[in-house]
Structure 1
Amino acid sequence: MPPTTASNWGSMEKNYFFSGQGTMALELFEQAPQLDAIIVPISGGGLISGVALAAKSINPSIRVFAAEPKGANDAAQSKAAGRIVTLPETNTIADGLRAFLGELTWPIVRDFVDDIITVDDMEIIEAMRLCYEVLKVAVEPSGCIGLAAVLSDSFRNNHAWKDHNQIGIILSGGNVDLGVVWDSLRK
């Protein structure tokens, strides 16, 4: 039996479920075909499943990384345990990343996501500030976690990730509640 690859993974019904999210990878490759890594926010796993399947179908050697808040790190724990881990509670400013992996998304995350980078809320807030100051774009906490991951010490100091120079980062969402951000800074 041939090894499972992004091009032969699962049934057509499963692939159809993720195809919409996979268009993000296609758009990234149109703009930057030289990418050697993509970083995607992870929660329930739908977005990263589509991106990982599409990206690895185009370039099987590309590295796909998930970015997750430390206060909702079920995907990182699941990947380490080799099974779905559900947390008793979550605690993060990235409210869009509080969902858990499901039965459809877990196999893709397990097999096609190369690693999961966790960051704390202050790193997420710093990435939001950077997006606003440099790009003049308001990005919600859940949507800028990929940038927070790339800027984190854990990413920069990891020798396995050191050689990635052409990194695509999925930024999404502009639903920013500044009251929540300010309250997080006061904690």
Structure 2
Amino acid sequence: MVLFLFIHSMISTPSGGQGTVCLELLEQVPEIDTIIVPISGGGLISGVALAAKGINPSIRVLAAEPKGADDSAQSKAAGRIIKLPATNTIADGLRAFLGDLTWPVVRDLVDDVIVVDDNAIVDAMKMCYETLKVAVEPSGAIGLAAALSDEFKESSVWHESSKIGIIVSGGNVDLRVLWESLCK
């Protein structure tokens, strides 16, 4: 198992534009068989899923979502959009909900949603900082947290994957919040 972190500076663009993230990743590492992407409103993962499946229909696209804002996981399980009454997560960039335009793409092209808690996200942020010397916001670190989670390691996808690409997006770190989280 090899993990590839693709650090992307998040810019608000339509899903097609966000699909270029996937194109760049697969251009650099074409043998990736699984991609893990943060999910919130669904724009980034929709672009990635459309691009990835267009290039390789058998590639797996997995969403990474915080436990305190798991509307995508609940929506996939229910087969319809679920709106949560409230969210509670350190990953403030992942508190939005799927919409009518992104839901069909997530429903049809995202293979699974991995849900992780805030402690796992903070551990992934810490790993990024200590190992890579890169400050990553909680929303961006969630893909790494998902890849390292027990839920993922126990899944069949883990055993079937040999090269996993992880989209790490966002460097908007409020250092006060980061230090408070790391000191808990």
Fold match (TM-score > 0.5): yes
Give the drift of 1:186.
Answer: 6.1
Find the aligned partners of 1:103 and 1:143 in 2 and give their Cα distance.
Answer: 24
Root-mean-square deviation over aligned CA pairs: 1.4
C-alpha deviations, 1:116-147, integer Å up to 9, x for none? 00000000000001001111100000011000
Give the drift of 1:172.
Answer: 1.2
SS in 2 for 1:60: coil
Report % sequence identity. Answer: 72
TM norm structure 1: 0.88
Find the aligned partners of 1:184 and 1:33 in 2 and give their Cα distance.
Answer: 36
Find the aligned partners of 2:156 and 2:164 in 1 and give their Cα distance.
Answer: 16
SS in 2 for 1:65: strand
SS in 1 for 2:62: strand
C-alpha deviations, 1:76-108, integer Å up to 9, x for none? 000000000000000000000000000000000
Q: 1:136 is matched by which residue type in structure 2?
A: K
Within-5 A mapping of 1:41-60 = 41-60=38-57
Match 2:33 to one of 10, 20, 36: 36
Gaps of 5+ in 2: 1-12
Q: Whose strand proportion is higher, 1 or 2?
A: 2
Find the aligned partners of 2:134 and 2:183 in 1 and give their Cα distance.
Answer: 23
Find the aligned partners of 1:28 and 1:56 in 2 and give their Cα distance.
Answer: 13
**Correspondence for 2:138:** 141
**Correspondence for 2:83:** 86
Q: 2:114 is matched by which residue type in structure 1?
A: I
Q: 1:88 is matched by which residue type in structure 2?
A: P
Gaps of 5+ in 1: 1-15
Find the aligned partners of 2:15 and 2:88 in 1 and give their Cα distance.
Answer: 27
Q: 1:56 is matched by which residue type in structure 2?
A: K
Whose radius of gyration is greater, 1 or 2?
A: 1
**Correspondence for 1:132:** 129
SS in 2 for 1:99: coil
TM norm structure 2: 0.90
Task: Tell me if the contact between 1:93 and 1:181 (Cα under 8 Å) persists in the aligned partners.
Answer: no
